[in-house]
Structure 1
Amino acid sequence: MLKSKVAVQVISPGILPDDAIMLGDAYLRQWKIPQGQPIMLKFGAFRHYVKVVPVERFDGMRIGQSLARKMGLISSTTLRIRYRQENATLSVGPLIGVLISRDDPEARDRPFGTITMFCKELVDACEAQGAHVYFFTPDHITDNFNTLEGWVYSDGWRKVPVPAPDVVNNRLTSRKLENRPNVQLFIKETKHRHNSVVFNEKFLDKAEVFDALVKDPALVRYLPESHVLRGLQVLKSMCSKHNTVFLKPVRGSLGKGIIRISRLDTDSYSAQYATTLGTRRQHFGGIDKLYASLAGKMKTVRYQIQQGLHLIDIMGRPVDFRALVQKNETGKWALTSIVARTAGNHHFVSNLARGGTLSTVKEAVAKSNLSGSNAQDAPGKLQRAALEIAKGIDAHIPAHFGELGIDLALDASGRVWLLEVNSKPSKNDNTPLQDKKIRPSVRNMVRYARHLAEF
């Protein structure tokens, strides 16, 4: 059986016309590719009739420079090939397009800012697995939806015309950009015209996730009581049931704007506000006064009010956990990594942007106030919860996701709770790469794209 991953050589102009490619003769025999008559060459949205010239004792493919440029290839590469007799189509790929928020053509070494290292890592992972990737922003989308401008890497970053891809990974980090009409139309049209697959196609907000998962009896045990804060009565009801509640912006991230409300006595409340410098406190002599202080914020921010949890802590600093779950080469959810995050001093949220620190789950649990069998069972419980919640998102939210960041917590009894789900897990350059190794999370992304494109 011949391998599907082949070296694709771009050869000098004048040797091969645009309507011909060279291919090892063993492939022609195995796949019964006809000689001398045109077949369709497919690369993403690119379609072109070519005749195949067999080459003895050769296990690769050769294409002319002019044809390569029409395909968006500026140098020799490694791709996977597949031939289907029923429609006489030779497909090469997969072609992966990563939709990112912004670029800076002037910054040649870091055109994508803090995610540039991730982008180069993805290029390397594609080269290793036989795939081709480019990066594009909403501004690169054209009106014809067949081609666009994309950033590729070949001895440096450069922009070239590229076909619409087989698979789009939506890495937009702004809802405003994601909701732009040209982005929404591009997603719709590439699916319809080219059978492209788009994953992580939309942001999730906290209320949407909890409203969806609460319908699943198997997942309710992970959900703290949670409601959209629509008025004073909701605040009164939650504060009467729980000594502590959290207000979280429905569309917030990185711990921004979170407020912790604690009942001090019958009608006295403390509100703690998460800021970059630490926690700011305010006292209120009554629930009405507390609500009045929130009314101004509620005009511009929609809050979710959530039951406060007695999280495990390390020397008084709360600990939670971030699990990264991704779909694998068979399209099934798998756990890629899980880390513990311990809040910084004077903070009640654990985000790194707020001075939090990372450690392994075992290290954090060992240092925490969790003990006995609860501590021993914690890693397994967290892993199970992450996978079950990911499957629940798939089942109950009508959108396609390929990776999710799932924030979990453990309480003092060892029970697992869901804090939130992020459909755009961070890819910033804050994780140093050792010896230019490709992280499992990046390899898995390419494997899933290959699965989607059937390569």
Structure 2
Amino acid sequence: MARIKVKITVQNLDIPLDERTIFLGDSFLKKGKIPVSQPLILRFGSSRNEVRVVPVARSMTLRMPPSLAAKLGLHNGSELCMQYRAGQRTLSLGPLIGVMVPRVYRKLPDRPFGSITAFCRELTDACAQYGAHVFFLTPEEMSGNPASVTGWTWRGSWIRHVFPVPDVVYNRLTSRRYENRPNVQQFMKDVKARHGTIIFNEKYLDKTEVFDALLREEPVRAVLPESYLLKNYQMLKSMTSRHGTLFLKPITGSLGKGIIRLRREPGGAYTCQYAGLSGTRKQTFDNLPAVFKSLAGKLRAQRYQIQQGLQLIQVGERPVDFRALVQRDETGKWAITSIVGRIAGEQHFVSNLARGGTLSTVATALAKSNLNPSLRAATLAKLRHCALDIAKGIEAQIDAHFAELGIDLAVDVNGKVWLIEVNSKPSKDDNSPLTGENRKIRPSVKRIVQYARHAARF
């Protein structure tokens, strides 16, 4: 049936109304082929309530009693997709989307989710536009085998409310520490098994997992720099014999934290450069055993991926790379939402914004770079093609559900595209449109809701 969007009206408390009676405009009844005056199931998330539908001439709303609206977590003016499934005699509203966020700052009512509060408002607005309802929940509000979920929603201000288990859960936990809590893992397992909830971006990816998986994908194998989990001195020695420059990256790191660039100098010495917030710290060693000895403490505390260094294009001697935001669209297919250039800051060899990097359009970054002008025209198409192939490869090879990926790509001086890393919790700020317009709802946020609506079959 055609998708129907309906506004919820909560019945005035002064007018007594049976909780099992709802009123619906007759035009909706005809369009949705919804039977009247007989028992139906009203579904919203995991909630199932037996109702009787009463037609109302020329009404453009679905009117329900306050007790039912409170049970569902709906308020006056909510706009939702609606569809009737005759075979199940079920009138479904939704989708109901739950977003997992790290914490709530109750002493900051205007910014309860910290730096992502603006994104949460933006997502709320996108849900209103596309006929969905969203709430935000933290690890403290998750438990095994839930019949309902307590979360936060926007109603002119942020309020706490109880909701049914959502149709879709979007994992925006930005710490492995939160994500790996036993109650969080149990919550995700149980809502999928008991309620059929769809969870996307359900886990972090580590660098070794990504590279090992993509080596099995023929279309992307050629864009992978040589890369391994660093296990011992012999592996370090073998890699330095093949590559003059290497990168050592914490396999669970993000924002450029802990990255080390190792370079073999002409006289046989080695230089290590360590990425820090204020710039790059440099240390020189006479030989490779001395390098490995200095790294021993770091390797005991954290696992590192060792990766072939690349001769990347530069803008004014600053390395350039590219972040592609790849998301599933309203049909469930992978699509490019945006690609931006990232130019490393002064005294940095990584391009992350947290390390002083700056954003640029792809065209501007390429035009300012040292890439041969004859190679520039084809580069954007190669970046797009490569990013889509990588997203499809992740989907095929890693047993988890993802709907958006931040894919970091690089271009070398010969115009070849390379994969740097894949991020399953991409920052929203890094992919802001660079048109100069003050857009209320970014395409990346709209696409999250469009995919959630598709995944929940609305």
User: TM (normalized to structure 1)?
Assistant: 0.97
Sequence identity (%): 55
Please give the alpha-carbon distance, in whole angstroms, between the structure 1 residues aligned to 2:10 and 2:76.
6
In structure 2, what is the Cα distance between the partners aligned to 1:361 and 1:156?
38
* 1:392 Cα offset (Å): 0.6
Structure 1 segments of 4+ aligned residues over 4 angstroms from their partners: 428-436
How far apart are 1:26 and its partner, in Å?
Answer: 3.0
Deviations 1:121-149 (A, max 9, x none): 00000101111000000111245412111
2:260 counterpart residue number: 259
Say whether 1:210 aligns with 2:218. Answer: no
**What is residue 279 of structure 1 aligned with on the other side?**
280
Does residue 239 of structure 1 match 2:240?
A: yes
Q: What are the Cα deviations for residues 88-145 of structure 1, in whole angstroms up to 9, with x where unaligned? A: 1100001000001111122110000000000000000010111100000011124541
Instruction: State the partner residue of 1:153.
Output: 154
Residue type matched to 1:342 in 2? Answer: I
Deviation at 1:32, TM superposition (A): 3.9
- Residue of structure 1 in register with 2:4 after alignment: 4
Structure 1 letter corresponding to 2:4: S
- 2:33 and 2:247 mapped to 1: Cα distance? 64
Q: Per the alignment, in what secondary structure is the counterpart of residue 236 of structure 1?
A: helix
Residues in 1 aligned to 2:195 and 2:22: alpha-carbon distance in whole angstroms: 23
SS in 2 for 1:252: coil
**How far apart are the structure 2 equivalents of 1:365 and 1:345?**
18
Which of the numbers 438, 442, 445 marks the counterpart of 1:442?
445
Contact 1:123/1:153 (CA < 8 Å) preserved in 2? yes
Shift of 1:428: 5.2
* Further displaced range: 67-76 or 115-124: 67-76
Structure 1: distance between partners of 2:75 and 2:429: 27
Q: Deviations over 1:200-246 (max 9, x none)?
A: 00000000000000111211111000011000000000000000000
- Tell me, in whole angstroms, the C-alpha distance in 1 between the residues paired with 2:170 and 2:114: 18
Partner in structure 2 of residue 341 of structure 1: 342
Q: Which residue of 2 aligns with 1:186?
A: 187
Correspondence 1:12-411 to 2 at 5 A: 12-13=12-13, 14-265=15-266, 267-411=268-412
**d(CA) in 2 for partners of 1:231 and 1:144?**
44
The C-alpha deviation readout for 1:34-63, integer Å capped at 9, x for no partner, is 322211100001111111111112232111
- SS, match of residue 320 in structure 1: strand
What SS class does the counterpart of residue 376 from structure 2 fall into?
helix
Distance 1:362 1:246, change over 3 A: same
Alpha-carbon displacement from aligned partner over 1:153-194 (angstroms, at most 9, x marks no partner) = 011111111111000000011111111111111111111111
d(CA) in 2 for partners of 1:311, 1:34: 64
CA distance in 2, matches of 1:242, 1:145: 53
The 1:82/1:291 distance shift into structure 2, 3 A limit, reads same
Structure 2 contact 145–191 (Cα < 8 Å) conserved: no
In structure 2, C-alpha distance between the alignment counterparts of 1:290 and 1:209, rounded to whole Å: 27
Would you say the 8 A contact 1:118–1:429 is kept in 2? no
Amino acid at match of 1:347: H
Q: Unaligned regions of 5+ residues in structure 2, if any? A: none
1:114–1:428 contact (8 Å) kept in structure 2 = no
Mapped to 2, the partners of 1:23 and 1:223 lie a distance apart of: 56
Q: What amino acid is aligned across from residue 47 of structure 1 in structure 2?
A: R
Q: One-letter code of the match for 1:236?
A: K
- Separation of aligned partners in 1, 2:43 and 2:7: 16
Contact 2:330 2:450 survives alignment (8 Å): yes
Output the CA distance in 2 between the equivalents of 1:144 and 1:222.
43
C-alpha distance in 1 between matches for 2:80 and 2:390 = 35
| Contact 2:247/2:308 (8 A) holds in 1 | yes
Q: Larger deviation: 185-194 or 331-340? A: 185-194
Larger CA deviation: 389-398 vs 2-11: 2-11
* 2:222 match: secondary structure: helix
Structure 1 spans left out of the alignment, 5+ residues: none
The CA distance in 1 between the partners of 2:272 and 2:305, in whole Å, is 15
Deviation at 1:74, TM superposition (A): 3.0
Inter-partner Cα distance in structure 2 for 1:115 and 1:109: 12
Pick which of 28-37 and 260-269 moved more: 28-37
The reply on whether 1:451 has 2:448 as its aligned counterpart is no
Name the amino acid aligned to 1:439.
Answer: R
Matched pairs, number = 455
